[in-house]
Amino acid sequence: MTLTLDNASANDTCQDHLKSILNIHDWLLCDGEFFHIRCSAHILNLIVQDGLKIAHDTLDKIRKSVKSVRGSESRMIRFKECVSVIHGLNFTSGLHLDVTTRWNSTYIMLESAIKYRKAFEYLKATDHAYNLRSEDELLRSMGEKMMNKFKKYWKKYSVILAFGAILDPRLKISTLELMYEEIDAETAKRKVE
């Protein structure tokens, strides 16, 4: 019934070719309407990467700070000294550097760096190259951009997910009704039908 791929142009070409061959033989369910389904993990990555573009400057500062500390043994020792100065803070886990193409590695980097925020602030007091801050406007803008990307893919993707919900004996139509109502009350009835 479906083929799940990410957004690579070669994948689009491949699925178009395969779909036309299957269509000639009338082997497609629902006339191939749901033949090509975007990979959920890939869509999530696109949404998060779009949101992270808004926070690029802040993320870049954090990334440079982590990279700088991890860059040499002497800087790591200096950072650990900064950690030891902060009351109640111990260097229990390392600092992780992200891979910019994987959103979850950015999360891991932020998760590891946030523990040592005060140590970075202390380091900033002695080295003016460190400047970490967050602003509400930045987060609002990030959220809006991510939601727009989600809505773009949700329009194409929601019907195929509905098939899965209906076929799952634990969920059926009642769950579908509830979820569509929660996501978009105006179109919920039409989508369930």
| Tens digit of pLDDT at every position of the chain (193 positions) | 778 877 778 888 888 899 889 989 988 888 887 787 777 777 888 888 888 888 888 888 888 889 888 888 888 888 888 888 888 888 888 899 988 667 788 889 999 998 888 888 888 887 654 556 445 666 777 778 888 888 887 776 666 677 777 777 777 778 778 877 877 788 888 887 8
CA dist 80 to 61, 70, 92, Å? 19, 11, 10
Q: What distance in Å separates the CA atoms of residue 84 and residue 81, rounded to the nearest whole number?
A: 5
Q: What distance in Å separates the CA atoms of residue 15 and residue 37, rounded to the nearest whole number?
A: 10
Does residue 25 fall inside a structural domain? yes
pLDDT in the model for residue 96 = 92
Does residue 48 fall inside a structural domain? no
Does residue 45 fall inside a structural domain? no
The residues, ordered by sequence, that sit 6+ positions from 53 with a Cβ below 8 Å of its Cβ are 145
Model-level pTM?
0.50
Looking at the structure, tell me whether residues 76 and 123 fall in a common domain.
Answer: yes
Task: Write the single-letter amino acid at 132.
Answer: L
pLDDT in the model for residue 128 = 59
Domain count, the chain: 3
The residues, ordered by sequence, that sit 6+ positions from 6 with a Cβ below 8 Å of its Cβ are 38, 39, 42
Does residue 108 fall inside a structural domain? yes
Question: How many Cβ atoms sit within 10 Å of the Cβ of residue 24?
Answer: 9
Q: What distance in Å separates the CA atoms of residue 117 and residue 126, rounded to the nearest whole number?
A: 15
Q: Residue 72: phi, psi to the nearest 5? A: -150, 155
pLDDT in the model for residue 133 = 45
Domain with 130, as residue range(s), is 54-134
Looking at the structure, tell me whether residues 61 and 127 fall in a common domain.
Answer: yes
Question: How many Cβ atoms sit within 10 Å of the Cβ of residue 46?
Answer: 20
Looking at the structure, tell me whether residues 69 and 95 fall in a common domain.
Answer: yes
Looking at the structure, tell me whether residues 121 and 165 fall in a common domain.
Answer: no
Does residue 187 fall inside a structural domain? yes
